[in-house]
Structures are given as C-alpha cells and as structure tokens.
Amino acid sequence: MCGIAGILDFELGLDASKRLLDGMLHTQNHRGPDAFGTWNGQGVVLGHNRLSIIDLSEAANQPMEFDGLVLVFNGEVYNYIEIRRELEQLGHTFKTSSDTEVILHAFREWGGGCVSKFIGMWAFAIWDERKRELFASRDRFGIKPFHYIQSGNRIHFASEVKSLKHSPLFSDGLNLNQVSRGLQMGWMCYGEETYFSCVKNIPAAHNLICSSEGVRLERYWDLSSFVKSDENYETKVDRFREKFLESIRLHLRSDVPVASCLSGGIDSSSIVSTVQHGGHKGTYKTFSIYYEGKGDVDERSFVNEVVLKYPQLEPHYYSPTDNEISEAFDRALYHCDFPATGSSFMSQYFLMQLISRNGVKVVLDGQGADEYLGGYMHTYYRLIGDMLGSFSFGKAIGATNRVTGNLGLGTVGKMTHFGKSILNSMLSEQQLYGLEYKNYYPFLLNSTSDAVPFELSGVGQTRVDAFLYNLLFSTSLPSLLHFEDRNSMAFSIESRVPFLDHRLVEYAFSLNDSDRITPETTKRILRDAMKGIIPDSIYNRKDKKGFVTPGESKWLRGPLSRLVATDMKIPEFLNKERVGKLLSDYRNGDNSKATLVWRLAVLVDWMAKGNGKTL
C-alpha cells in the first residue's frame, strides 16, 4: 500500500512541476514512509510514497521503469506470482520479486487488458513514453483511491485530495450535489464525483486514458450477466468455501507479518478462523475496539469465542476514552479528506492506531460481505417484496412473521415491516432511494430542484440482486472503503479485504436469493461454508451490529459537544430555519435525528477548517 501522485502538464514547466510534486508527496507521506521516489520526463512527473510489503529491497522502489514504461502503483496484485509465471513462459525476465514489476510486464504484453487478469486492489498510472500516453486504472470495487483534476489535456492526480490542494488547478468550490448526498444519504462519494467540483475519482472498475486525442474513461468489468447456478445448495456451499479459502490464501501473501481486525461478527470471525483453520504457524494478532456503558456495544464475548477456539491468537483490545476522542477528532477528520457522515470512522481510526502501536503493517478486514451476501436487514424488504410481486401473499406474510419474530418486533413493528415490503414490491431501487432522499430527513439545502442527484441501476433478476448490486457500487460500499483506506493509511497500514476477491463476488451473484438470505438467517451460504470453522455461537448469531459507536448522541453531547455549539456558522447554501430547528430540538434532548445532526455538525466543522485544509 502506498501513495501515488503525478502531473501531466505541458504548460506548467519542469521546475514548477517538480516543486508541486514534492509538495503533493510530502502531504501524503503517511501512506508510504518507507521510500520516496520521483521521475520526470517531458511534460510529465510521477511520484511515489512507498509502504514496503512485497519485496522489501530498494530494487522494488517506485517509480519503476521498464521498456519505455514508467509506473506508480498503490495496492496489491495478489496473484502476481501466477501472472509472472505466465509472462516468463512468454519470454519475460524479471529483476525483482515484486508485484509492481509484474504489472509493468503485463502491461507491455497485454496493454490495458492486463487488468482483467489481476486479482487484487489497485490504483496505478503508467506513462508510455513511446505513445506519449497516460494509462491509469482503479480496481473493480474502488478499494484504492485515485483522485484527479483535469483541465483540457492537463491532469494532476494523487491518492488523497489533500495532496491535490497544492495544485494550481485546484479550487475549493463545493459540489452541492455531493453535499446533499452526504447529508441526506450518508454517502461519502458517488461515481466520479467528490465534495469538490474540480476533483474527480476514477470510478471503480474503470481505466482512464489520456493522450493527444483527449481524456476518456473506459469500464473494464461489471457484474452484468447474473447467470444463476443450477447446482444444488450443498455443492454451492462447497464451491463458495473453496473460493473463500483461496481468497484468504492469496491475501496472506506478504513479506511482512499479517494480522486481522476482529469485531466478533461473522465476517471478521470467518477471516480469522479461516486463517487459523488453514494451519497458520505461530502467533496471529487480532485487534478489537469496544465501548462500555449504557447502550454501548461491547463484542468482546464473541471475540473471546474465536480466541478460545484458536489458542494461537493473540488478541488486543482497546476502548477510547472521551478525552482521546476529543483530542483525535480533528486529526481523524483531516485524514478523512471529506466530512465524515457517521461516527464509526472514529472507532476505525482508533483501531488502526492500536494496530500501528503493535508494529503491524498489514491487516485483513471484513468489508464487503454484507453488501453482496445479504447482511443488511433492509434486504428483507426486497426479498418479501419479490414474493408480493409474484402474488405469493401467504409466503410473504409467513416470511414477515418469521423475520419480525427474530427481530423481536411487536404488532406495530410487523405491520410497518410488511408495509415497507409492499412499497418495495412496487418501486425500483431508484424510486426507493429517491423517496428516501426527498423525505427521510428534513431537506436542509436551499434548493427548489426536484431532481435526485444520483442514478441507481436496476440490474439483476430479482429485487435482492438489484439492491445488492447498488450497495456494492453506489450506496454503501464506496463510503466504507473510503474510510477503510484513509484510516489505515493514516497509520501507514495496508488493509486488505478478502471478501472483495472479484471471483467470490461473481459467484455470489450466480446464487439464488434463498442461498444468500432466508427469513431465518442472513448470509446463509457464508454461515454454512464456515460451519465448524467459526465458533457455533457466531454461526448462530442473528443480530446485526455493524461498526456501532455511540458518537451521534453520546459523543456529540459529550467530548464532541463543541461541534453543536450555539455559535455554529451555518453556510449560506443551507436553510437556516430548518437547520436552526433541527439543532434546537437536538440541544433540547431530541435524539430522533441525531444522525443528521452529526452529518450537519461535521460538515460545518470541516468547512470552518477551510474544507479540511489545515489541522
């Protein structure tokens, strides 16, 4: 894991470009403190902050050159050994044992099509001296970031937006569509858009090509076929297990020790248990955050079940104090780049701090499983909505009774749940999210537009398919991955997410809804694939906690109360009357819209700090 930066600009001049690049790399040095490198050519400069994980030698430092190509790369290609063997059979020879060199040779051999061979996470840029062309790519799920500013054929890019603030192309004008999405929906990003009008992302699963003919984006992968498997369920479980074990095996490739985050939920427990079940030798460290107090979430009892089952685990726990939360907030928000739309990023920040203090550079984490295996309770509305859509009313009522019974809901709760399922049977994902966007919270922007600033896909054979697809690419996972990257890299840690092996995700979308979620259980196939590997108590868990923190109410009324002070400077683009009432109600003890208050307070604080420009 590293930081990359580059400037393709024939107007700036070499000396100015080199000074600019140095500033960009210095700003994101936390991403890769092990080595610092630059390369310059005519109108092009490239830079790299290295976090040494694979091939620790200086020969693997970047930028790396080969046969007229220059590469800066952030991420890991986990199957680099297999690709290297294939390239060697085609006559290629190698000077290092790094995955970086494999990317260069693969690009020379197959061009931009090489990315279809990669299993991993990446954001990289290759300058082709022969073609005078910049080729950049981002992995299939956008695990690693690639931000850029374009003006004509001028492109300045970096791993973090804070680095791009050095660029003369940067302006701090806000993208109010993204501000609105952040407030109303909690999304940190959307497609190629960011909080700044001038800064774009390369979207997940896209390549960017910049040449004398202009700049273009090309999508190289999608989950578009949705061909359903006709295998029996037991065979599907075996195949899923095999693919998951293979993903874990690849994600353990490292020339430095690997550890794991462990929350006590099924996802992280599956990762840790599979590592141990696979015969990992020696002590294996795990890291967990917990909170004690009324209403707080403490998952240590479930974590301890994993530790008891696998005695070679070395667990580490941490519970942030109020003083630590108050002191760390500004630093965490600075690293986040954008106004954090929930408080869980703070828990993850402290988790990564704990990992760093224990000298670990690589961790495995459980992001992604909920998004494609039906881990969120909202998936049930779509599942029952499909039953209603096919006129299976008795089946839908029975499913509602079982789901709400497991959730402990009474009569009113059951009726509400069934009503939402009816709504899901009638509306598309775009219509459902549009309804939420317009009505779920008081709309705080001064806007008379009825337009909804997003467009969701309706792909898939079922409503569950469509819901999970959008979770992966638009509504949920992009924000989670943003936090994952920024928090881990704030402490020079590489965070790997084995559930996002694309082969595993492709297989999951070949499954029937009932393979993934039933009225009795979520993530059914994962549970059954892990039966006997994870502790029974975790296999049987029915609750869904997520990365729960007490921030939106307890922290905002305690160590972070300064964020909702009465002298808050409300931006002009917000409706002062609605904002005033929202804050007044909250200060008077109303927690019903605490999440929106958090988003508003953090947005205002982020802007007060000059859009996060300074600490």
> What's the pLDDT tens digit per position in 125-163?
999 999 999 999 999 999 999 999 999 989 999 999 999
Average pLDDT over residues 89-118: 98
pLDDT band at residue 546 under the 50/70/90 scheme: low
Main-chain dihedrals φ then ψ at residue 580, nearest 5 degrees: -60, -45
Q: Which residue would you say has higher pLDDT here, 229 or 81? A: 81
Q: Which residues contact 345 (CB under 8 A, 6 or more apart)?
A: 332, 336, 483, 486, 487
Query: Quick check: 604 pLDDT over 50?
Result: yes
Query: Quick check: 614 pLDDT over 50?
Result: no
d(CA 134, CA 72): 11
Average pLDDT over residues 567-580: 92
pLDDT band at residue 17 under the 50/70/90 scheme: very high
Q: In what order do the strands lie in the sheet with 147-151?
A: 35-41, 44-50, 2-8, 154-158, 147-151, 200-201
| Percent of the chain scoring above 70 in pLDDT | 98
pLDDT band at residue 213 under the 50/70/90 scheme: confident
Query: Quick check: 212 pLDDT over 90?
Result: no
d(CA 141, CA 481): 9
Res 544: pLDDT: 60
Average pLDDT over residues 212-217: 91
- Domain boundaries of the chain, sorted by first residue: 2-219, 233-289+297-372+476-539, 379-462, 551-608
Res 371: pLDDT: 97
pLDDT band at residue 448 under the 50/70/90 scheme: confident
Res 3: pLDDT: 97
Main-chain dihedrals φ then ψ at residue 567, nearest 5 degrees: -95, 20
The stretches of 566-613 forming alpha helices (DSSP H) are 576-587, 594-608
pLDDT band at residue 582 under the 50/70/90 scheme: very high
d(CA 269, CA 307): 10
Q: Which residue would you say has higher pLDDT here, 486 or 459? A: 486
What dotted CATH number matches 233-289+297-372+476-539?
3.40.50.620
Res 298: pLDDT: 86
Please say whether the beta carbons of 467 and 336 come within 8 A: no
Q: Which residue would you say has higher pLDDT here, 276 or 566? A: 276
Res 292: pLDDT: 84
> How many CB atoms sit inside 10 A of residue 95's CB?
10
Q: What residues pair up with 125 in beta bridges, in sequence order?
A: 72, 136
What dotted CATH number matches 2-219?
3.60.20.10
272-302 tens-digit pLDDT: 999 999 888 889 999 999 998 766 778 899 9
Res 615: pLDDT: 38
Query: Quick check: 73 pLDDT over 80?
Result: yes
Please say whether the beta carbons of 367 and 385 come within 8 A: no
Query: Quick check: 496 pLDDT over 60?
Result: yes
Residue-averaged pLDDT of the chain: 94
pTM of the model: 0.96
Please say whether the beta carbons of 149 and 199 come within 8 A: yes
d(CA 474, CA 273): 30
255-270 tens-digit pLDDT: 999 999 999 999 999 9
d(CA 347, CA 362): 18
Query: Quick check: 44 pLDDT over 60?
Result: yes
d(CA 206, CA 610): 31
Please say whether the beta carbons of 67 and 108 come within 8 A: yes
d(CA 256, CA 493): 11
Query: Quick check: 471 pLDDT over 70?
Result: yes
Q: What is the DSSP letter of 474?
A: I
Res 610: pLDDT: 77
Per DSSP bridges, beta strands 120-128 and 69-77 are antiparallel
Convert 251-312 into a string of H (helix), E (strand) and C (coil).
HCCCCCCEEEECCCCHHHHHHHHHHHHCCCCCCEEEEEECCCCCCCCCCHHHHHHHHHHCCC
Res 613: pLDDT: 53
